[in-house]
Structure 1
Amino acid sequence: MSPRVVTAGETMALLRSEGLGSLAHAHELTLGIGGAESNLAIGLARAGLDVTWVSRVGADPLGERVLREIRSEGVQVRAAIDDAAPTGLMIKARPTSMTTTVQYYRAGSAASRLSPADLPDALLEAADLLHVGGVTTLLSPEAAATVEDAVRRARAAGTTVSFDVNHRPSLAPPGGVRDLYTRLAAEADLVFGGLEELALIAPEDADPQDAEALLHAVADLDRRPGREIVAKLGAEGAMSLVDGVLTRHDGFAVPVVDTVGAGDAFVAGYLAARLTGGDAQARLLRGNAHGAMLCMSPGDWESAPRPADLDRFLRPDADPVHR
């Protein structure tokens, strides 16, 4: 059996403008789907892992689209259809070749009504790993409580817990997120974040540009053996701290088309390597490769690699034309 992963979070319908320029002048939008946890689930499924995605969608055509797309990628779907709330919506545009804007329409969405009943004990107990992200906790107080409850129950069952800070400032409540994120990071066996995200759960006087210090600060939240703290450094690669040992892997230089979803792809690659026995260096290498490949085409998940794609990417002498 492949290692089993459970993840929970919102996937939205995604409208993406074609070409460059403001939405105020766009004439065409392409319809797709996007969401951090389903991006990760698809990345893991393409890597050959058994993964279940848990969520809620509205009883509407956009919810039907979300469920069909995720199922078609080999992900096991456990999503309630909520006839009292709509499927969330995300609109993405590229005003210039160097910038991307993302607007959310997800207040009161079906996924904001996630509850502990959507993640039964049997599902968490059967999993090897539960992955959650900070963005889900920002959907509503009920969703935040559901994430914390799932983490608590997973730990009680002996299931490994992975937490990606994955902060969305536009969704953050007025009171901030430090306390919530810190509790989740302390409970998690694996913690992922960019430098600014890790700074949210480190002491407030921590230098947000000092990756090594941030890794140690987050590790200090709970010093139980085996915890892994991982800093996503973008084009510069990534760094991890595992049982006091620092490991770094440089990023890959690639032509960038769209960076949205690259962080989710990195986590998928890292977890795929970890769940199949890769060491610290192999985990970072695979995470960086997945993230780089995601940046090379538009879409939040569409270019997530399968093993053959990854093999070609990692062989610089490979023929770019696949015959």
Structure 2
Amino acid sequence: MSSPDTLTSVPEIVCVGENMALITPTDAGLNQATHATIGLAGAEANVAAGVVAAGHRVAWASRLGNDPLGDRILSDLGRRGMDLWVERDDDAPTGVMFKDPGVESSAVYYYRKGSAAARMAAGFLTADRLQGVRIVHTTGITPALSASCSEMVDELFTAARAANALVSFDVNDRRPLWSREEASATLARLADAADITFVGRDEAERIWGTVTPAEIRAFLPHCALLVVKDGDVGATAFEGDAEPVFVPAPVVDVVEPVGAGDAFASGFLAATLDGADLAARLSAGHAAAERVLTIAADLPPLD
């Protein structure tokens, strides 16, 4: 991992989480395909790339295997302009995700148990390392990777606060990674403790049984700023005891929805760094999501 002394300035945001190699068949489903593409998949790096594209200094922090797929991820993310706070592991591989495209939706299959990123543990990022950072962002995917990752996220919240950084947390529930019962309790605790929390209305209903944005706010009363995303309806922000702010989603011809939530978070966080008001931040989130919804990938292609 790079030393802070080697950086010309401190990043405004640090995004913490796993990035995987993404294998997508191009000529048939996984059970019959003979050709495929290799890309990248990872919520936190998606957010980092979006905030960089908006003109801000961002670091992505994680662990990768000391293998060709790890090299590929570093090369791609480095070309996107983010700082790479990455440890390499000689004994654990880079995680892999397979996508099985379908007419109505795509199925995904994870091969990330025991990955290098799953070995992140308490002490991975300290308050000293985060000095000067304005926002630390992670998601509910990270604590689901392993017990040590869950402990790391708990400590990350504490370290960020000690460094006077805001904690941003996207619930981002991934059903294949853990049980509903375990996810419900852990995600509720972290979402309620964050300074900024993003959650989809549908995923909140799935894991907590809360149906409306107001019910989600009542369930997460301590989060300083709660953003509830409701697909093509719009997004509602609850800040303190103020009246909620709602901004409708634009009408979009969707090519693929994967990655839109990460893009929304990147637009919202970039606008937060710019000092925009709450409605403008929600609009920036929608605009960033719209750009991803109109392409068949999580991130725009590199030039």
User: Do both share a fold (TM > 0.5)?
Assistant: yes
Q: Equivalent of 1:6, from 7, 14, 17? A: 14
What CA distance in whole angstroms lies between the structure 2 residues aligned with 1:42 and 1:101?
Answer: 24
Q: Equivalent of 1:102, from 78, 101, 108? A: 108
Give the structure 1 partner of residue 245 of structure 2. 247
Query: Could you say what the CA RMSD is over the residues aligned between the two structures, in angstroms?
Result: 1.9
More moved, 113-122 vs 289-298: 113-122
Quote the offset at 1:119 in angstroms.
Answer: 1.0
Give the structure 1 partner of residue 165 of structure 2. 159
Q: Equivalent of 1:238, from 197, 215, 235? A: 235
Quote the offset at 1:69 in angstroms.
Answer: 0.7
What CA distance in whole angstroms lies between the structure 2 residues aligned with 1:184 and 1:196?
Answer: 18
* Preserved contact between residue 38 and residue 53 of structure 1 (Cα < 8 Å): yes
Give the structure 1 partner of residue 149 of structure 2. 143
Alignment of 1:284-303 (within 5 A): 284-302=282-300
* Preserved contact between residue 198 and residue 231 of structure 1 (Cα < 8 Å): no
* Preserved contact between residue 4 and residue 128 of structure 1 (Cα < 8 Å): yes
* Preserved contact between residue 127 and residue 162 of structure 2 (Cα < 8 Å): no
More moved, 136-145 vs 123-132: 123-132
CA separation of 1:73/1:11 partners in 2, compared to 1, >3 Å: closer, same or farther? same
Quote the offset at 1:278 in angstroms.
Answer: 0.9
Percent of aligned positions that are identical: 36
What CA distance in whole angstroms lies between the structure 2 residues aligned with 1:183 and 1:192?
Answer: 14
* Preserved contact between residue 54 and residue 118 of structure 1 (Cα < 8 Å): no
Alignment of 1:182-221 (within 5 A): 182-199=188-205, 208-218=210-220, 220=221
- Read off the aligned partner of 1:180 and give its amino acid letter: T
* Correspondence 1:131 to 2:137: yes
Quote the offset at 1:199 in angstroms.
Answer: 4.3
Unaligned runs of 5+ in 1: 305-323
Q: How many residues align?
A: 293
- Read off the aligned partner of 1:10 and give its amino acid letter: E
Quote the offset at 1:126 in angstroms.
Answer: 2.1
* Correspondence 1:43 to 2:50: yes
Quote the offset at 1:289 in angstroms.
Answer: 1.1
* Preserved contact between residue 294 and residue 301 of structure 1 (Cα < 8 Å): yes
* Preserved contact between residue 191 and residue 229 of structure 1 (Cα < 8 Å): yes
Q: TM-score of the superposition, structure 1-length normalised? A: 0.86
Quote the offset at 1:252 in angstroms.
Answer: 1.6
CA separation of 1:113/1:3 partners in 2, compared to 1, >3 Å: closer, same or farther? closer
* Correspondence 1:111 to 2:117: yes
- Read off the aligned partner of 2:230 and give its amino acid letter: L
